[in-house]
Structure 1
Amino acid sequence: MDYRVIKEGDIFLLTEPNGDITENNEAGHGLYTKDTRFLSRLELLIDGEKPSVLSSNADKSYFASIRLMKVRQDEGAIELLRERFIYQGVLYERITLTNFFPDSRTFDFSAGFDADFQDMFLVRKYRTGETGEITGREAGERQLSIRYQGKDDIVRETVIEWNQDESGIDPQGIVHFTMTLQPQESQQICFVITPVLAGEKAEPLAYEEALRLLEQSYDSWYGETTRVTSNMEVFDGLYRRGVQDLRMLMTDVGYGDTPVAGLPWFAVPFGRDSLITSLFMLPLNPEKAKGTLRTLAAYQGTKVDAWRDEQPGKIMHEIRFGELVNTNQSPFSPYYGTVDSTPLFLVLIAEYVRWTGDLALVEELKPNIERALGWIDGIIEGTGAGFLTYHQEAEKGFPNQGWKDSSNSIVHQTGQYAATPIALSEVQGYVYQAKKGLAPIMAVLGDQALADKLELEAEAFKARFEEAFWMEDEQFYAVALDREQQQVRSVTSNPGHLLMTGLPDAARAEQVAERLTAKDMFNGYGVRTMSTEAAGYYPMSYHNGSVWPHDNGMILLGLSRLGFKREANQMISGLLEASKSFEYQRLPELFCGYGSELGGPVPYPTTCSPQAWSGATSFVFLQAMLGLAPDAIARKIVMNPFLPDLFNELTAERVRIGDGHLSVKLTRTPDSVQVDIIENTTGYELVL
């Protein structure tokens, strides 16, 4: 990557690989919280010159270590080791300076700081708007502060503190230290940088204490999640990377931890992204879904507001907290322009109960469930076609409102873009899965009338879908129906999500699985978003030919549930091979759709990494290999396991199901896969 990023809670730091934030950079580097850049310059110099990079390591999601050196020919060098992390609202950076000259050296070490307090949308050039102004800069003893008065009447401040006496601070915000070091002598300077919002300032700890507590929190996270080992180090590494990255990407905005979408630009709760990530995280630790469900329930739509595409019962797409949102210059407060978040909210509730049996959360959220069902039914009945559709109302919203939300993503075979209202194939699957999944839960809770209603509606919906979306000549489902209820006949990955939902008839599900892994759809590493035979195909397109790991994860959930082991093997093996090519074996948001004959996956030019639903895809690999389908309502666990090529064994320890745990080992034998149950404290019947 051409950047370094670390995050903890609501704060993230984005810098160049050398650790600097330079002024007027086009990449948007900075220290951010609440969608505001609290640091727009952080630059280290020795005698007024930049040191060069020796190494830049961010293998730990939460900690960066960068080694720099100021060299003078062959005489020697001054080395700088930058070690940084974020904990409880404070950025800590420790600089260790070492003299590798053969004699004593005196030099000027300086650190330049500034803050512009730009809204995230302005940094990304995604919006324009009226903003506030810098109202004060103050330098004190071992301290520098910059204050900003926003148009939203919120005072924001950046406080920079350090632990050594400086030799001076110039008007440009550069702090100078005159240093004298003997040969191989080291000296440390620690900076702590604290964003202050409306007077709320976190109190910094000692560097070592803050780091100890941060690492302790990661150890607790690892202890709460499923442990996995296998004979395939590439899988073990990808799984460990996902576990670590998901811990970093969790954020609590007041209703419990929820995964944000990704770094650097989407470090906020999303509807679709947070829900799909939480769905993938169920075999990791199903308890982690509760924060997502409560957060999205808290922001559920309550009124008709075209400015934000809001409607009663609708689940949000994205929420922001910056100056433009606070002054109603942007509709993301939150913005509701998504068609799939609402049914996915219901899908996650049903799947969460299957893993946990937690009916208390369903009772708590039942008003939200009923409002979400009401919104879905209102749209379905209002279209006249009997499907859940979307149409942009907000002037500054999104024209396409499924997961492929770019403006060119829903395209006919003629090359023309489909006109809205649009009914997406996978969204209809989510509606079906939500109603089928909630029906038995409502029956257990004593609402038999609602349970029967959901069952009847789901079956009628399935029949309508099969008739309207199936393309007989392609033996595949259309990606969507357009405004005229005509099929959008491009072959895409979207119908692959239907396998997870249980909607397709068995014969058609088999045909879908075969087509998804055929050469025009599978590029050797994963399923493309669009067939190479489609008119809109372009391998570098964001949504029309690229490969998205999370998209493959959704498909893989379905392949696993339906027992399509050959196709699941192909998908897991391809993505594992792709992961070897990316820094820290971190699957990115997406990569290009070029075939594997090029020797490796082709990176997409601009992509978020780490990203939550990509990081969580390895958890789906685990669920697929175990063939694990718990049903806490029926007090039963079904396993239909398999081991992909090159796997000889897999052990999963302390998978949380119900009130207990399941630990299991799979071993390849000449004829099958041997299953050894190491521990089962769930009390549920286990069916192999």
Structure 2
Amino acid sequence: MNYRVIKENDLFLLTDESGNIPADHPYGPGLYTKDTRFLSRLDLKINGEEPILLSSEADEVFVASMIMTNPHIEKDGQIELWRESVELTRKRFIYNGVCYETITARNFNPKRTAFNLSVHMDADFADMFIVRGFQNGELGSRGKTELYDGEIRFTYNGADDVKRETAVTWNDPEAEADENGNLFFALELEHEKEKTIVLTFTPIIDGDRPEGLDPEKALRSLEASYKEWATETTQVKTDHHTLQRLIDRGIGDMRVLLTDLGQGRFPVAGLPWFGVPFGRDSLIAAIQMLPFNSDVAKGTLRTMASRQGESKDSWRDEEPGKIMHEIRFGELANTGQIPFTPYYGTIDATPLFLMLLSEYVKWTGDMDLFAELESNVERALEWIDSYGDRDGDLFVEYHQESSKGIANQGWKDSGDSIVHRNGDYAKTPIALAEVQGYVYQAKVSIAAIYKNLGETEKSKTLQSEAARLKVAFEEAFWMDDAGYYALALDEKKDQVGTITSNPGHVLLSGMFNEDRAKAVSDMLISDKMFSGYGIRTMGIGEAGYNPMSYHNGTVWPHDNSMVILGMSRSGHKYQAAKAMKGLIDSAHSFEYDRLPELFCGYESKGKAVKYPVACSPQAWAAGTPLLFVQSMLGLFPDSLNKTIALDPELPEGVNEIEVSQLRVGNGYLKLLVTRSEGSFTTDVVENTTGFTIESK
């Protein structure tokens, strides 16, 4: 299904390209909030016939528009409506918990023309897990459909004792409605005259009904919020058209994916099915956003801290100090039929929480937030050393305990993703390579913060633990025969030796020595790992390799972005530039130059091959071109020492990049990098940070 999706805060609408919600469609289109479908059918007809779609635009994910016309309609040999005589324009957006739709009918028939429009609706209030076919369970019951003056209201009494309703309103007092969810509008228009019908769709939960506005005022307010976002976000200009579109698209998509559950705005994982907090996804997306808008990191950290694990609960894979994986708010979660309230089955969210906080402090110098979250930091560190390191071997490993949980709990979480070179699947507990890098980076960085605060003993302890981990990692994960690091260690501490992208994440931590950092960087851009459009998740020739597999050969933009930033930080700028160029070149393969969640890992032959069910937009895919900017600049601030490292390298085809409104500490940077005769010239146009710039 080619879909259209719009979102604002915690409400999103998923339709087909015509703007309809087909009833009983297996893809599950609808209007959703709190993991519940509040509208399960929506279709528009003219004189009882389906309009013909002419254009469907979703260039901006906060507003969608479709242009349609009527088919040729005859009845009993008489022309009822000449073909293409009426233009229908649908426009919809979401603001303050209300979905607005305007339907504008314009008559292009030479004569005054009468016709009927009808809208057909229903609401099944299905839990998202049921819509997606993942679960069944004990459910509530559908209530009666209520008719009011200018309003249809669908009702549902949940098994969780929550009353859910969908209110539909319209602006035409002459319209007729029935209890089956049908609306009928009789129109009669002169040549080139038009009439606009305004519909609103409002989810109501336990009587809490968001206040609707005049649609023009609501749209102006929504557009104003996007303009405000632009003014508070770093600006980038480049001479490379595709890269510019990728960056602009990434900034816009990240804005639409922001949600606030009470602790500040954070990026949900992606649309359509992951519009909720995801520990790993939200944290990585916030890392990607640091050079552009660090307030996103603050909201993400506070959201994750507010739901940090409190007790040992095997049903939810919860442990004290652990950062959650995913939270859901629907009927199945509320009644305890699924463990997502929240679910904690992730091995990497806890060190990523510490990484994000330490990187946030490096960018902003905001020690107040560190003080606010210090108890969360201590509990996260305690989890790493106790529950995370299950057997005291210094490595953090995972093992599923929940009967409805996730077996593989790293970012490659599909059941076949951790596979030996002989094709056998690894058995848990499993220690992943990248997770050890996250832990190392977290401990080194938090140690630096403690040192700055005068907490000498805490700092020394963490530094010592990190040093021991580094030695143990080299001994356990390095493979002499392959000249590369293992993907993981299995239950017997045997290497899972498959060549994958996972060790590339460790580059960012600084845990590798110089020679091995180069070996990893070189492997990742070799023919085995590099498709031409990006770094594959698994290398060609490995037992598990499949260019169509979700995690065993495809290309994930966010995976590449973490690797690329690590290459940049470790000084392997050529490798980083090559990987960036591949992803930039892939952009023309996707609608609106929007990098999807993933795509297939075939060698580049004109177009990147789409993965059939990739989320788009997705937060850490949207954030990928934003990390390109930091990597191109080689920009790594350190507010603790009031320095900014700067070491630029532009990919082939990019000759100039200007970055302004770049916030570091309490000031701003404006930088211009240009290519000149094989080298790069950096002009520091503005620096109000008070930090020393250390250029290489």
State the superposition RMSD in angstroms: 1.0
Alignment of 1:257-406 (within 5 A): 257-379=265-387, 381-406=389-414
Q: Is residue 67–residue 82 contact of structure 1 (8 Å, CA) maintained in 2?
A: yes
Deviation at 1:381, TM superposition (A): 4.9
Q: Is residue 90–residue 195 contact of structure 1 (8 Å, CA) maintained in 2?
A: yes
Aligned to 1:177: 185
Say whether residues 1:85 and 2:93 are aligned partners.
yes
Deviation at 1:76, TM superposition (A): 4.0
Aligned to 1:585: 593
Alignment of 1:550-561 (within 5 A): 550-561=558-569
Residue 312 of structure 2 aligns to a residue in which SS?
A: coil
Q: Is residue 531–residue 602 contact of structure 2 (8 Å, CA) maintained in 1?
A: yes
| Percent sequence identity over aligned pairs | 52
Residue 678 of structure 1 aligns to a residue in which SS?
A: strand
Aligned to 1:59: 59
Rounded to whole Å, the distance in 2 between the matches of 1:94 and 1:501 is: 51
Correspondent of 2:654 among 643, 647, 651: 647
Deviation at 1:134, TM superposition (A): 1.4
Q: Is residue 69–residue 84 contact of structure 2 (8 Å, CA) maintained in 1?
A: no
Aligned residue identity for 2:247: Y
Correspondent of 1:124 among 118, 132, 146: 132
Deviation at 1:443, TM superposition (A): 1.4
Q: Is residue 390–residue 397 contact of structure 2 (8 Å, CA) maintained in 1?
A: no
Aligned to 2:76: none
Q: Is residue 319–residue 387 contact of structure 2 (8 Å, CA) maintained in 1?
A: no
Q: Is residue 651–residue 663 contact of structure 1 (8 Å, CA) maintained in 2?
A: yes
Say whether residues 1:687 and 2:683 are aligned partners.
no
Say whether residues 1:603 and 2:610 are aligned partners.
yes
Q: Please, which runs of 5 or more residues in structure 1 have no aligned partner?
A: none
Rounded to whole Å, the distance in 2 between the matches of 1:55 and 1:424 is: 47
Aligned to 2:4: 4
Q: Is residue 388–residue 398 contact of structure 2 (8 Å, CA) maintained in 1?
A: no
Aligned to 2:79: none
Say whether residues 1:94 and 2:106 are aligned partners.
no
Deviation at 1:136, TM superposition (A): 2.1
Aligned to 1:36: 36
Q: Is residue 75–residue 101 contact of structure 1 (8 Å, CA) maintained in 2?
A: no
TM-score for both structures, normalised by structure 1: 0.99
Deviation at 1:581, TM superposition (A): 1.1
Residue 96 of structure 1 aligns to a residue in which SS?
A: strand
Residue 360 of structure 1 aligns to a residue in which SS?
A: helix
Correspondent of 1:669 among 662, 676, 696: 676
Aligned to 1:538: 546
Q: Structure 1 pair 378/75, CA: closer, same or farther in 2 (3 Å)?
A: closer
Rounded to whole Å, the distance in 2 between the matches of 1:374 and 1:675 is: 43
Say whether residues 1:110 and 2:118 are aligned partners.
yes
Deviation at 1:3, TM superposition (A): 0.1
Q: Is residue 166–residue 175 contact of structure 1 (8 Å, CA) maintained in 2?
A: no
Say whether residues 1:525 and 2:523 are aligned partners.
no
Q: Is residue 145–residue 180 contact of structure 2 (8 Å, CA) maintained in 1?
A: no
Deviation at 1:104, TM superposition (A): 1.7
TM-score for both structures, normalised by structure 2: 0.98
Aligned to 1:627: 634
Mean CA deviation greater in 249-258 or 96-105: 96-105
Aligned residue identity for 1:499: L
Correspondent of 1:512 among 512, 520, 530: 520
Aligned residue identity for 2:662: V
Correspondent of 2:232 among 210, 215, 224: 224
Residue 349 of structure 1 aligns to a residue in which SS?
A: helix
Aligned to 1:23: 23
Deviation at 1:71, TM superposition (A): 3.0
Q: Is residue 41–residue 113 contact of structure 1 (8 Å, CA) maintained in 2?
A: yes
Q: Is residue 285–residue 620 contact of structure 2 (8 Å, CA) maintained in 1?
A: yes
Aligned residue identity for 2:262: G
Q: Is residue 400–residue 406 contact of structure 1 (8 Å, CA) maintained in 2?
A: yes
Aligned to 1:415: 423
Residue 85 of structure 2 aligns to a residue in which SS?
A: strand
Rounded to whole Å, the distance in 2 between the matches of 1:250 and 1:230 is: 26
Rounded to whole Å, the distance in 2 between the matches of 1:191 and 1:208 is: 13
Rounded to whole Å, the distance in 1 between the matches of 2:678 and 2:399 is: 53
Mean CA deviation greater in 541-550 or 18-27: 18-27
Deviation at 1:167, TM superposition (A): 4.0
Say whether residues 1:499 and 2:501 are aligned partners.
no
Rounded to whole Å, the distance in 1 between the matches of 2:680 and 2:83 is: 63
Deviation at 1:380, TM superposition (A): 5.4
Aligned residue identity for 1:411: V
Rounded to whole Å, the distance in 1 between the matches of 2:409 and 2:380 is: 17
Aligned to 2:161: 153
Aligned to 2:464: 456
Say whether residues 1:466 and 2:474 are aligned partners.
yes
Q: Structure 1 pair 473/75, CA: closer, same or farther in 2 (3 Å)?
A: closer
Mean CA deviation greater in 138-147 or 375-384: 375-384
Rounded to whole Å, the distance in 1 between the matches of 2:321 and 2:216 is: 47
Aligned residue identity for 1:61: V
Deviation at 1:125, TM superposition (A): 0.7
Q: Is residue 385–residue 485 contact of structure 1 (8 Å, CA) maintained in 2?
A: no
Residue 235 of structure 1 aligns to a residue in which SS?
A: helix
Rounded to whole Å, the distance in 2 between the matches of 1:605 and 1:270 is: 22
Residue 261 of structure 1 aligns to a residue in which SS?
A: coil
Deviation at 1:671, TM superposition (A): 4.2
Rounded to whole Å, the distance in 2 between the matches of 1:85 and 1:75 is: 29
Aligned residue identity for 1:46: I
Q: Is residue 379–residue 387 contact of structure 1 (8 Å, CA) maintained in 2?
A: no
Rounded to whole Å, the distance in 1 between the matches of 2:325 and 2:251 is: 25
Q: Is residue 102–residue 183 contact of structure 1 (8 Å, CA) maintained in 2?
A: yes
Rounded to whole Å, the distance in 1 between the matches of 2:210 and 2:389 is: 51
**Deviation digits for residues 100-158 of structure 1, max 9, x if unmatched?**
21212211110111111000100001111111111121112211101111011111110
Rounded to whole Å, the distance in 2 between the matches of 1:22 and 1:511 is: 52
Deviation at 1:383, TM superposition (A): 1.3
Aligned residue identity for 1:128: N
Q: Is residue 76–residue 102 contact of structure 1 (8 Å, CA) maintained in 2?
A: no
Alignment of 1:248-259 (within 5 A): 248-259=256-267
Aligned to 1:199: 207
Say whether residues 1:564 and 2:572 are aligned partners.
yes
Rounded to whole Å, the distance in 2 between the matches of 1:76 and 1:33 is: 37
Deviation at 1:385, TM superposition (A): 2.7
Q: How many residues align?
A: 687
Deviation at 1:654, TM superposition (A): 1.1
Rounded to whole Å, the distance in 2 between the matches of 1:580 and 1:382 is: 46
Aligned to 2:484: 476
Aligned to 1:70: 70
Aligned residue identity for 1:13: L
Say whether residues 1:14 and 2:14 are aligned partners.
yes
Rounded to whole Å, the distance in 1 between the matches of 2:374 and 2:84 is: 69
Residue 129 of structure 1 aligns to a residue in which SS?
A: coil
Residue 667 of structure 1 aligns to a residue in which SS?
A: strand
Deviation at 1:384, TM superposition (A): 3.8
Q: Structure 1 pair 655/474, CA: closer, same or farther in 2 (3 Å)?
A: same
Q: Structure 1 pair 674/312, CA: closer, same or farther in 2 (3 Å)?
A: same
Rounded to whole Å, the distance in 2 between the matches of 1:445 and 1:147 is: 56
Aligned residue identity for 1:234: T
Residue 180 of structure 1 aligns to a residue in which SS?
A: strand
Q: Is residue 70–residue 83 contact of structure 2 (8 Å, CA) maintained in 1?
A: no
Aligned to 2:77: none
Aligned residue identity for 1:563: G
Residue 555 of structure 1 aligns to a residue in which SS?
A: helix
Deviation at 1:432, TM superposition (A): 0.3
Say whether residues 1:444 and 2:456 are aligned partners.
no
Q: Is residue 430–residue 501 contact of structure 1 (8 Å, CA) maintained in 2?
A: yes
Deviation at 1:166, TM superposition (A): 3.7
Rounded to whole Å, the distance in 1 between the matches of 2:348 and 2:379 is: 15
Residue 80 of structure 1 aligns to a residue in which SS?
A: strand
Deviation at 1:525, TM superposition (A): 0.5
